[in-house]
Structure 1
Amino acid sequence: MAERDFVPVRIAVLTVSDTRTPADDRSGDTLVARIAAAGHTLAARDIVQDDRDAIVARLREWIAEDDIDVIISTGGTGLTGRDVTVEAHREVYEKQIDAFATLFTMISVRKIGTSAVQSRACGGVAQGTYLFALPGSPGACKDGWDEILVHQLDYRHMPCNFVEIMPRLQEHLRRK
């Protein structure tokens, strides 16, 4: 089989936090650095409060943009009352990527043991855009990117990857 060429994707990073600012957003910085190192394009970056409506609004705004292929959020995936990122993501998803959460949990167990049960990382698809919600720690962002997303967002990854099916994510909308 012939070697495939790398296909850069356009990724938006959303930090969900009541306390972080651009000056101290270490988790967002971790993702941005890894996105650039992998050869992808940072399409947008923002910080929103732990507010379900605000998160949903930003996700819907970004999935409506043609120049964003993937959205990765960090923060708000825990169990406290202010952790509403997962609920916001699920409100937007057309399809959930259940195995993303499962795989993230498997990776987390190796690193933090049973504390992995407190993470509700998730993934899904909406309007042809991939969305992933990672916990708000730089370590969790490294794990999510280094162990899963760097591979699945690389067209060269075999036997399959998210990039190769991007053109087909909205095939149900095509006229017959």
Structure 2
Amino acid sequence: MMRALIIIDMQMDMQHRLDRGQDSVNPDAGDKIAALARHFRAQRLPVIHIRHREDHPASDFHPDAAGFPPMPCALAADGEAVFVKTTSSSFTSTGLETHLRENGLSDLTVVGAVAGFCINSTVRHGADLGFRMTVPTDAVLGFSLPHANQSAQVIFDVTMAHLGADFAALTDTAALLDR
């Protein structure tokens, strides 16, 4: 059972939201992600990058938008797999599942953004496909939903409770760095 780190959607749009002061959980998640990436690389374990893309020119995730490039914590090293998705789940619009199976990767540590959206859908989908999912909760970024009057903390807590109930092992970065 080989492990891999999957970094989801840590793109500049996330940093821009933090810089604007949007209500968030784990605004220092990028530091935790960078530490985990260094740890996995030092153990010669794969680090896989997922980026979100939208085709609408006004989208923050359009390839020409300032929000599209990866944050520094999510820069791919030479030879690391990078998948670009157009859906919430990292498995749906990419070749991620094929890549994982072809490389014997079954124990997946998932980090990145955003808790209630792409982290949630990717972890659930991965578990449904039979992958062992682990989520270090302090390496996951969460944001509020102002239009729904829901705080970042409420959304994050409910999302993690659901994931931990049936889809993933929840832990923290420190515990994974000790492995």
Higher helix share: 1
Shorter chain as normaliser: what TM range? 0.3 to 0.5
Q: Please give the TM-score of this superposition, normalised by the length of structure 2.
A: 0.40
Q: Please give the TM-score of this superposition, normalised by the length of structure 1.
A: 0.41
